[in-house]
Amino acid sequence: MKKQSVWSCLLALTLVAVLSLTGCGSGNTSTAPTDAKSGQTASAQEQYPKLEIKLSHVAAENTPKGQSALKFKEIVESQSGGNIQVKVFPSGQLYGDNDEIEALQANNVQIIVPSAAKLSGFDKTFEIFDLPFMFKDEESLRKFEDGEGGSKLLAKLESVGMKGLSFWPNGFKHITNNKVEIKKPEDLKGLKIRTHGGQIINEVYDVMGAASTKIAFNEVYQALQLRTVDGQENSLVNIDTQKYEEVQSYLTLTNHARSEYVVVANKQWWDGLDAKTQSLLTDAMQEATKVGRDLVEKMELDSLEKIKSNGKMKVSELTDQEREAFMKAVQPVFDKWAAEMDPEVIAKAKEANS
């Protein structure tokens, strides 16, 4: 009886050892199921909440801003295993220039991408990109945006219920019109020019004898067609993709200002996200910004070549002397409004040009 008991114990121990080895596997590792579409493990996907993000902007999908928005959507949805869905509404489909900020503050949309100047009602420094000839080229602009100056500017939105996430490029601005070739400041006298609004840009045209009027971006083509205004200012990509050559006769490459975009989120919504989700959105935003930057210079050049080859608008390129005349004409506007902005941000912008 005692011998049988010993054999029974040995058999039981053997079975336990076999079962343990079977459970652990030969490499003593276990693998969670992997989602074939996202490449993430099921447990990784479960770490992201089910979430829908509405991203609204007013530009066409084939612009740098439009492509940046789509890249953000792609990365977020892929990395979250589809748990987070980003619905992108381009071309003012959801909200236009005049109501997108109010919609964001009400959390009817979670992310918008307005022109920086549209945020100047909260802090005048957001019109820094409208200061005439503030940034000399793409390199100096990016140095400012990625540095302390850009961070300090974005942080100004925190007190008004918004979270600044990034700056997206829109190219330098140029002037089109349907009446006269513009080669010197005096050529603008008597023209009515559409702008995105703001006191600085209004005064830029005032000192050159032109009138400026604010019109929503998605209404500009019709305003030009109906001769409500004589001309407008915009990036080459927007001039091209909005087909302004159909209703304008002259384009002058002034590079006088930068119509930069600011990516803005509803702060209360953002603060309610868990840290992992915030990290994912932040990383995706950085990649989306890079896409826009890589595209903007190429697309600006491509748009200029397309406009020239179509031959519908006469393209005027300023000489160094002609550009200097424009800079001299608007210097009083620069000096006046730079003094109204955060001196630390202005100093950082000037440093970026050096």
Question: Mapped to the 3 state alphabet, what secondary structure does the chain carry?
Answer: CHHHHHHHHHHHHHHHHHHHHHHHCCCCCCCCCECCCCCCEHHHHHCCCCEEEEEECCCCCCCHHHHHHHHHHHHHHHHCCCCEEEEEECCCCCCCCCCHHHHHHCCCCCEECCEHHHHCCCCHHHHHHHCCCCCCCHHHHHHHHHCHHHHHHHHCCHHHCEEEEEEECCCECEEEECCCCCCCHHHHCCCEEEECCCHHHHHHHHCCCCEEEECCHHHHHHHHHCCCCCEEEECHHHHHHCCHHHCCCEEEECCCCECCEEEEEEHHHHHCCCHHHHHHHHHHHHHHHHHHHHHHHHHHHHHHHHHHHHCCCEEEECCHHHHHHHHHHHHHHHHHHHCCCCHHHHHHHHHHHC
pLDDT score for 44: 54
pLDDT band at 10 (very low <50, low <70, confident <90, very high): very low
pLDDT score for 23: 42
Proportion of the chain above pLDDT 90, given as a percent: 77
Which pair of tokens denotes residue 110?
Answer: 């979670």
Indicate the class that CATH gives domain 174-258+302-353.
alpha beta
The full set of domain ranges for the chain reads 48-170+260-298, 174-258+302-353
Looking at every residue in the chain, the average pLDDT score rounds to 89
pLDDT score for 148: 97
Rg (CA), the chain: 28
Domains 48-170+260-298 and 174-258+302-353 in one fold: yes
Among candidate residues 344, 340, 350, 321, the one with its CA nearest the CA of residue 203: 340
pLDDT tens digit sequence for 303-320: 999 999 999 999 999 999
Q: Which fold has domain 48-170+260-298?
A: D-Maltodextrin-Binding Protein; domain 2 (3.40.190)
pLDDT tens digit sequence for 98-142: 899 999 999 999 999 999 989 999 999 999 999 999 998 889 999
Backbone angles phi, psi at 233, to 5 degrees: -120, 140
